[in-house]
């Protein structure tokens, strides 16, 4: 019985499942940063340099997945285009288990920030981020995309 109580504690210990490295598709650059001095907060960033299109599929998990009940996909996406390319349209989409949970089209600015707080009805087996644009030529070779702290949370308030 003590083993079962220990398992319950293990299951409830984690409040989120991290999206670190994609299992399929474009591989972003991964980095961590700490800020805040004594009580430092750690942030994780996934960064892509997108020439025309990028698609990355993650499988949220690890040792904390067993018994986990995810209810929200969180994080913040930042898109940046070269200075002379603000007229180009960036399109993005996030899917959980193949179903679209968020999407958008961005145009006329150099930098865009999109909060990715999307409600989920279950813990997804996979999360896919798709991004593309109407650039990619010599005058507008690529745009950058960065996903800060992408994760699946237990509840809608975290």
Q: Which domains does the chain have, with CATH numbers?
A: 2-153 (2.60.120)
Does 13 or 25 have the greater pLDDT score?
25
Q: Is the pLDDT of residue 149 over 70?
A: yes
Residue 153: closest CA among 46, 73, 94: 73
Query: What is the overall mean pLDDT for the chain?
Result: 82
pTM of the model: 0.81
Segment 51-77 shows an average pLDDT of: 81
Q: Give residue 10's pLDDT band: very low, low, confident or very high (50, 70, 90).
A: very low
Q: What is the pLDDT of residue 76?
A: 96
Segment 98-119 shows an average pLDDT of: 94
Q: Is the pLDDT of residue 71 over 50?
A: yes
Q: Read off the DSSP letter of residue 97.
A: T
Q: Is the pLDDT of residue 2 over 90?
A: no
Segment 64-83 shows an average pLDDT of: 83
């Amino acid at each position: 019985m003590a083993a079962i109580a220990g398992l319950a504690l293990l299951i409830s210990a984690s409040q989120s499942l991290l999206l670190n490295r994609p299992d399929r598709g474009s591989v972003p650059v991964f980095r961590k940063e700490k800020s805040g001095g004594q009580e430092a907060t750690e942030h994780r960033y996934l960064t892509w340099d997108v020439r025309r299109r990028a698609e990355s599929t993650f499988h949220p998990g690890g040792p904390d997945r067993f018994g986990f009940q995810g209810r929200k996909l969180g994080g913040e996406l930042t898109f940046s285009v070269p200075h002379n390319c603000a007229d180009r349209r960036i399109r993005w989409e996030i899917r959980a288990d193949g179903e679209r949970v968020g999407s958008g089209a961005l145009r006329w600015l150099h930098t865009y920030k999109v909060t990715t707080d999307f409600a989920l009805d279950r813990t997804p087996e996979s999360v896919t981020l798709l991004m593309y644009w109407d650039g990619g030529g010599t005058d507008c070779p690529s745009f950058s995309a960065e996903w800060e702290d992408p994760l699946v949370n237990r509840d809608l308030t975290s």
